[in-house]
Amino acid sequence: MVLSLNSTYNLYYMTKKPICITLVLLFTVFSFAAKAQRGKQTSLSVGSEIIVPLNMNYRNDNGTDFNVNAGFGVDLKMEKPVTETLHFTVATGLVFTQSNPRYLYLSNSSNVFYDSDFHNLYAYLPVTAGLKYYFTKYLYVNAEAGSAFSINSRARTSFIYSGGAGAVVPIGPHHGLDFGLNFERGYKNTDYDHAISQLGLNVAYKYRF
């Protein structure tokens, strides 16, 4: 019972901080967005993302090799202008990554190591808020922060943040394609309890109201 209570407390402690940070960020965004000019290029975008981990090769003390493979995600983002060049963003979606930890075993008879490969899937529901600054009409830099909530047993709720740049290609008065490249950090899982760095290549369909 003591172990169960301790586990419950640890889980509550790990998830409390990312949730609080996300709520503060969302409250700030909506407070400022409420003061922005209404109906002026507010947009909604739906996109997909290819995720590439950076230098993710780790061996722990028990001899386990841990490698994160490329992943993918889908996202829904709302963009609200505060000024002509500075916009607030709020986003959510789904992110999936996979690893192939190799657990090493020692054979007593032959004194040889054998490995066993597994493929673990990590699933998250990220909720972020941020800023997007257009330094030309169609080119921008952006930064976001929030929480990635675990939606399966291998993932861990994590504080995440990202920054990058992109370009919007208009295909009509209300439509466009948004191409972005972001550096992302913060995702954790049960096999590697450290913030993982990754690159995200995003393509989204954007509709301006």
- Specify the higher pLDDT residue, 36 or 195: 195
Distances (CA, A) of 201 to 49, 50, 135: 5, 5, 20
- How many Cβ atoms from other residues are within 10 Å of residue 50's Cβ? 13
Q: Is 144 exposed, middle or buried (CB count within 10 Å of its CB: 0-12, 13-18, 19+)?
A: buried
Query: pTM (2 decimals)?
Result: 0.73
pLDDT value of residue 66: 64
- As a whole number of angstroms, the distance between CA 13 and CA 29 comes to 25
Tokens 């190799």 belong to 102
For 153-200, the pLDDT digits (tens) are 889 999 999 999 999 999 988 899 999 999 999 998 887 778 889 999
Rg of the Cα atoms in the chain = 20
Instruction: Name the DSSP letter for residue 170.
Output: E
pLDDT value of residue 60: 57
What percentage of the chain has pLDDT greater than the value 90? 50
